[in-house]
Structure 1
Amino acid sequence: MSKVRIYALAKELGVETAKMLEILDSLGVQYKSSSSTLDEETVEAIKTILADSSSKAEDAAPEDSSVNASATQEAAPEPVAATPPVASNPTPAPQPSAAQSATAGEERTLAAQPAAVTTTATELPHRAPVVTIMGHVDHGKTSLLDYIRKTKVAAKEAGGITQHVGAFEAKTSRGKVVFIDTPGHEAFTTIRARGANVADIAIIVIAADDSVMPQTREAIAHAKAANVPIIVAINKIDLAQANVDKVKQDIIPLDLVPEEFGGETIVVGVSARSGEGVEDLLEMISLVAEIADLRADPKAALKGVVIESRVDKQMGVLANIIVQEGTVHVGDFLVVGEKYGKIKALTNSVGDRIKDAGPSTPVQILGFSEAPTAGDTVTSAKNEHQARELVAGRTQDRRDVEEARKGRRLSLDDILGAPGDVHEVNLILRADTQGSLEALQGILARKSSEEVKLTVMFAGIGAPTEGDVLLASTANAEIMCFNVTASGGVKKAADNKGIELKSFRIIYELIDEVDRLIKGQQEPVFEERYLGRAEVRMVIRHPKAGVVAGSYVQDGMLRRNAKVKVTRGRQVVYNGTIVGLKRFKDDVREVQTGYECGINIDWNDVQEGDVIEASELVEVTS
């Protein structure tokens, strides 16, 4: 028997991939992802476990299950099982036969038995994954979306409304998938910059005849900054000049190691023109979603995200949202940022007017008087009065925060984080040539430590762009340029967002700046360093200064504000600080060996013959 992939075996045996991974964990089997392969011995062990589990469930079932099922149904409501990630069929279901009814009754009875319950009524139903497609220009993102839309969306939809809703739903053999149809990674990051994580999965499209290009790297950086799973779709595999192996090799330096090379990145070859591999891609999307166990409560309080909005000359303001939690209804009052509106009409992605929409559903809303901002969170209100109050409260909160920021001084924890944390330094690099870029990356790769993690979010050739500024603002990164200069528009954008944008002409000046950034993120290490020693020869009691020790410096130096310990014989009798130091009547900063001085250590019990030893804390530099 040849080796089989985990997800393929799960499909063959009719269990969820997540359940299969649990079994592998219990067996102590090592795997990298659900696409890892299993040997024959492991496969047989899994089948045995599943068979034993099935046998125990059958043994637990009562003999007359149909009777017990009826009793159970009369005694208590039937448990509601979690909805699997499979699209519901809009066509009426055929009536079950008598045998099928009996089987259904037996299954309901088993569900009522605690020992056999696999999904409880309290579990939330699954929701469809939300997917965004990104990549370099002309690599086939739009063509791939068009192919999926034409083959996987209801025939009525000809692409009209989808262009405005900003997303569409595709029906697949494993359920519904929602694709965000937004223009590129910058729109994706703009939404995320406002605190909304819309996409569950990012598809990076790379042309097989072109391989990794600048916008490919940017798209990958944006997806990583969003911390979403990445699937690489190698497009145009049907072309004669396609080189799939080269693409797989080229994405490895970008920390996307294909599964077949021992990594965890799913890579699928597709052709947006012929449709080759598209089903495999959809299968992988469903697989990743299944492992992520995406769930949402349709009865919860409404939560959604604005994808985009526009003003139609005839209809007015139209807002396109994706529902994440709860259900939105016609007539609901919605609050978005500091705006609110009442839903007059809901339109789904195929252009139909609908009355409500649940989780992972893209809809177009008519009812706002002002266009909401992409990325803003959508919530509901009971009535217009409550909506007005929410908006007024948010407006006041924003003003309070702005006022607080003006007068607030940052604490050390604000700057460095809590003690013991691993601090991060995120960079975006721009250089004049590929050679310069590689040299910089090679040097910076050795800069990370246990205390500070240095991450190059994106590295590209040429002047920085506004997209770099956007990425830097969401990833809390600094932009560093070598031998390239930002345009006036980019500098203005960076200033507006408070982003550091620095240019260098000498490579080691850039490295020195990175070292300073890293040092600023590290917890400083200090050591006590000896300064000097003085013998107390006279004790002077001053009416204002208190007790002053008239002393002679025997070694080194004494410095104002230095730490001191006072010894009497062999015993340390006091630890403190030099709060005052005088030469005759003058206050001085330090006194060297061989000079007399007056020392005030703010301690009244100093005696003649005591020895005052001074030290200071010095930061240890590596």
Structure 2
Amino acid sequence: KHNDRYITFLDTPGHEAFAALREHGARLTDLVILVVAADDGIKPQTVEAIRFAKQAGVKIIVAANKMDKATEAQLNQLKAQLAENELLPEDFGGDTIVMPVSAKEKTGINELLDMVLLVSDVEELKADRDVPGEGLVIEAHMEKGRGPVAIALVEHGTLNAGDFVLIGGTYAKVRNLEGTDGKPITKAGPSMPVIMTGLKNLPDFGDEFDVVKTEKEARQRAATVAGDRRASSNNAASSGSELLRMISRSNKLTEFNIVIKADVQGSLTSVIDSLKTMDNEEVAVRIVSSGVGIINESDVHTASTAGAVLYGFHTSLPNHVKQLASRDKVPVRIYTVIYELIDDVKKEMEDRLAPEVVEEVIGELTVKGIFKIAKTEVICGGQVSKGNLKIPSLARLFRGKELLADNLEVTKLQRGPTEVTEVPEGEMCGLSFKSEKRVEVIEGDRLELFTRETKIRTL
């Protein structure tokens, strides 16, 4: 919020996001702020971002960052580089606004926000909030306990909790609306990002949504859209749609980030479509970048920044790029068989699954006597009242139905003077266990012995 007006920022890899939006035929942003380090100048990634921003047809403001250490000469050099890339600064006679800022010193930020509001006024960026809501899905995922969840940007009108909404090939009666802070809200107006639940299915990233009058209308229109998409599936797949997953993410899934390059668009679409089916409630594939052609330095930089694995399908890796990947410790894997690539991704996802912990109760001891109680060790005796006692094992201490201690490490079993590894039901024995803190045991307490095994899970 600035000067009693709201500005919504979407922080995303600009060049890839614009590619996705162009394919979807949707306009997400009204204004692009291109952040460039004034002391470092324009990089190849910046040139690519400028190109995609221009193709998206949106106004560009350049934020010249790191002015706390950049010199005036470096700032002028940056402006000259911008001019070379068809962004002619105002003081060079053009219309590109360049705002000096320092994120470190927090200087120039208010002036930048003032300029954003001024440009929005000049460009007459307005929306009517008194009409049914319309907008765009900028992220969607499955969330445990809530099902399909969409993060959407309201572009026109107002979206209310309880509205019937058509979203691409699916629909919803909006069960809950949340702000990006996770707090419940009842409605959202233009330029507001919201988290939406109640969807029948997971929408595609970049799907447009609009509020309709009845559930019947939403259902019928969604069925029509879904049918059209199935009929033209070869043309409907979008090479960049997965990139919108990087925007305003709020789910709690473990993520496996990947960058994909393929030889042709058809191959790339096939790989992406296969990966879309692999998400589960715990681990999700996040495609942070994708494209057609040989693997280049920009791909390595993107993968390095995102901590991603770089996959190539029927494409090549030049030696100088291979050396860069090795230096930046970016894993690069090239495949010519799609199933081998998918199996590799599956293995990476399995490695990120939390292991399955399996516990099995094996027996119980009713305490008849206590021989020693120390700070972290107890020696007691009693009768095996259920099952068989074994070591190694763990134990829980109960007094009646009350649990007094858990995860006690059973270190010794003894029958008479002899140490044993197992004692059957009905027999008397001595038992020693260790604990992290002092545990008081009295006659009549019950020790429940159990084993715990950690198993590697598979998909």
Q: TM-score, normalised by structure 2?
A: 0.50
- The structure with higher relative contact order (CA 8 Å, sep 6+) is 2
Partner residue in 2 for 1:352: 183
CA deviations on 1:147-183 (whole Å, 9 max, x unpaired) are xxxxxxxxxxxxxxxxxxxxxxxx1126221111334
* Cα distance in structure 2, aligned partners of 1:256 and 1:465: 25
Match of 2:48 among 211, 218, 230: 218
* Cα distance in structure 2, aligned partners of 1:336 and 1:184: 24
Residue 195 (1) aligns with residue 25 (2): yes
Q: CA deviation at 1:260?
A: 0.4
Q: Match of 2:132, SS?
A: coil
Q: Match of 1:234, SS?
A: strand
State, as a whole percentage, how many aligned pairs show the same letter. Answer: 39
Match of 2:5 among 163, 172, 175: 175
Q: CA deviation at 1:228?
A: 0.2
Q: Match of 1:396, SS?
A: helix
Q: CA deviation at 1:369?
A: 3.7
Partner residue in 2 for 1:313: 144
* Cα distance in structure 2, aligned partners of 1:491 and 1:385: 46
Match of 1:234 among 64, 67, 72: 64
Q: CA deviation at 1:270?
A: 0.1
For the 8 Å contact 1:195–1:375, the answer to whether it is kept is no
Q: 1:214 to 1:489 in 2, by over 3 A?
A: farther
Q: 1:266 to 1:464 in 2, by over 3 A?
A: closer
* Cα distance in structure 2, aligned partners of 1:230 and 1:491: 40
Partner residue in 2 for 1:34: none
Q: CA deviation at 1:315?
A: 3.0
* Cα distance in structure 1, aligned partners of 2:132 and 2:195: 19
Partner residue in 1 for 2:192: 361
CA deviations on 1:69-119 (whole Å, 9 max, x unpaired) are xxxxxxxxxxxxxxxxxxxxxxxxxxxxxxxxxxxxxxxxxxxxxxxxxxx
Q: Match of 2:52, SS?
A: helix
Partner residue in 1 for 2:126: 295
Partner residue in 2 for 1:455: none
* Cα distance in structure 2, aligned partners of 1:231 and 1:379: 30
* Cα distance in structure 1, aligned partners of 2:299 and 2:336: 9
* Cα distance in structure 1, aligned partners of 2:222 and 2:101: 47
* Cα distance in structure 2, aligned partners of 1:378 and 1:338: 10
CA deviations on 1:309-355 (whole Å, 9 max, x unpaired) are 12222433221111112211111122211111221111113333111
Q: Which shifted more, 230-239 or 344-353?
A: 344-353
Q: CA deviation at 1:302?
A: 2.6
Q: CA deviation at 1:363?
A: 0.8
For the 8 Å contact 1:191–1:376, the answer to whether it is kept is no
Partner residue in 2 for 1:389: 220
**What amino acid is aligned across from residue 31 of structure 2 in structure 1?**
I
Match of 1:377 among 196, 208, 221: 208
**What amino acid is aligned across from residue 190 of structure 1 in structure 2?**
A
* Cα distance in structure 1, aligned partners of 2:58 and 2:30: 6
Partner residue in 2 for 1:270: 101
Partner residue in 2 for 1:33: none
Q: CA deviation at 1:356?
A: 1.0
**What amino acid is aligned across from residue 313 of structure 1 in structure 2?**
K
* Cα distance in structure 2, aligned partners of 1:350 and 1:404: 37
Match of 1:252 among 83, 102, 116: 83
CA radius of gyration, larger in: 1
**What amino acid is aligned across from residue 23 of structure 2 in structure 1?**
A
Once the two structures are superposed, the pairs formed by residues 46-85 of structure 1 within 5 Å of their partners are none
**What amino acid is aligned across from residue 367 of structure 1 in structure 2?**
G
* Cα distance in structure 1, aligned partners of 2:174 and 2:297: 45
Q: 1:311 to 1:188 in 2, by over 3 A?
A: farther
Q: 1:370 to 1:361 in 2, by over 3 A?
A: same
Matched residue count? 256
* Cα distance in structure 2, aligned partners of 1:387 and 1:188: 29
Q: CA deviation at 1:484?
A: 10
* Cα distance in structure 1, aligned partners of 2:234 and 2:190: 37
**What amino acid is aligned across from residue 239 of structure 1 in structure 2?**
K
Partner residue in 2 for 1:322: 153
CA deviations on 1:110-129 (whole Å, 9 max, x unpaired) are xxxxxxxxxxxxxxxxxxxx
Q: CA deviation at 1:462?
A: 4.7
Q: CA deviation at 1:284?
A: 1.2
For the 8 Å contact 2:295–2:321, the answer to whether it is kept is no
More strand by share: 2
For the 8 Å contact 2:62–2:97, the answer to whether it is kept is yes
Q: Match of 1:199, SS?
A: coil
CA RMSD of aligned residues (A): 3.5
CA deviations on 1:345-401 (whole Å, 9 max, x unpaired) are 111133331111111111111112432222110112323222221012113333555
For the 8 Å contact 2:169–2:223, the answer to whether it is kept is yes
For the 8 Å contact 1:349–1:362, the answer to whether it is kept is yes
Q: CA deviation at 1:485?
A: 11
Q: Match of 1:191, SS?
A: helix
* Cα distance in structure 1, aligned partners of 2:199 and 2:56: 29
Partner residue in 2 for 1:279: 110
Partner residue in 2 for 1:119: none
* Cα distance in structure 2, aligned partners of 1:395 and 1:267: 44
* Cα distance in structure 2, aligned partners of 1:277 and 1:210: 18
Q: Match of 2:118, SS?
A: helix
Q: Match of 2:111, SS?
A: helix
For the 8 Å contact 1:464–1:485, the answer to whether it is kept is no
**What amino acid is aligned across from residue 345 of structure 1 in structure 2?**
N
* Cα distance in structure 2, aligned partners of 1:218 and 1:351: 34
Q: Match of 2:8, SS?
A: strand
Once the two structures are superposed, the pairs formed by residues 446-595 of structure 1 within 5 Å of their partners are 462=296
* Cα distance in structure 2, aligned partners of 1:490 and 1:370: 32
Q: TM-score, normalised by structure 1?
A: 0.37
Q: Which shifted more, 373-382 or 222-231?
A: 373-382
For the 8 Å contact 2:152–2:194, the answer to whether it is kept is yes
* Cα distance in structure 2, aligned partners of 1:191 and 1:180: 13
Q: CA deviation at 1:247?
A: 0.8
Q: Which runs of 4+ in 1 moved over 4 A?
A: 399-405, 460-468, 482-493
For the 8 Å contact 1:329–1:355, the answer to whether it is kept is yes
For the 8 Å contact 2:178–2:195, the answer to whether it is kept is yes
**What amino acid is aligned across from residue 7 of structure 2 in structure 1?**
V
